[in-house]
Amino acid sequence: MNIKIPKQLFVPKMPYVKQPKIMLNPNNDNVGAVLISAVRYACGRRTYMPSIVVNVILPIVAQLNDKNLCCMERDIREQERFGYGDECDRVDWMKLLKALQDEIEKRGIEKW
C-alpha cells in the first residue's frame, strides 16, 4: 500500500547558516569569573561537565591572568577534601591542577 504525503507536510530544506565563532579573551576578568564558576560548578560532580570544563581550560592556561590562575588552582586543590567525583574526573582535575601549578611557578607568582 503506497501512501502519498502532500508536499505541504514536508519541512522545506533550510539553508546552512555558518555560526560565527565566539572569541573570548581568557585574560578578561569577566571571562575569568565565568571559567572559575565553571570549575566550582563541575568540581566533584559525577557527570560529563568535569571533562568539558577541563578540556576548555587546559589549552588556555597560559593566557589566564594571575588572579584567575591562583583562584582555580586553590579551588581545585581544596576540593580534595570533598572528592573529585569519579576516578576519571579526578585524573582530569589533576591534569588541570598540574598545568595551573606549572604556569604559576613559571610566572613566579606567590600563591595566596
pLDDT tens track, the chain, 112 positions: 565 656 655 555 656 556 556 677 888 888 999 999 999 999 999 999 999 999 999 999 999 999 999 999 999 999 999 999 999 999 999 999 999 999 999 999 986 6
Q: Give pLDDT, residue 24.
A: 77
Q: Give pLDDT, residue 28.
A: 84
Cα radius of gyration (the chain)? 21
Query: What's the rounded Cα separation, in Å, for the pair 97 and 103?
Result: 10
pTM above 0.85, yes or no: no
Q: Give pLDDT, residue 14.
A: 55
> What CA dihedral angle connects 101, 67, 79 and 94, to 10 degrees?
-30
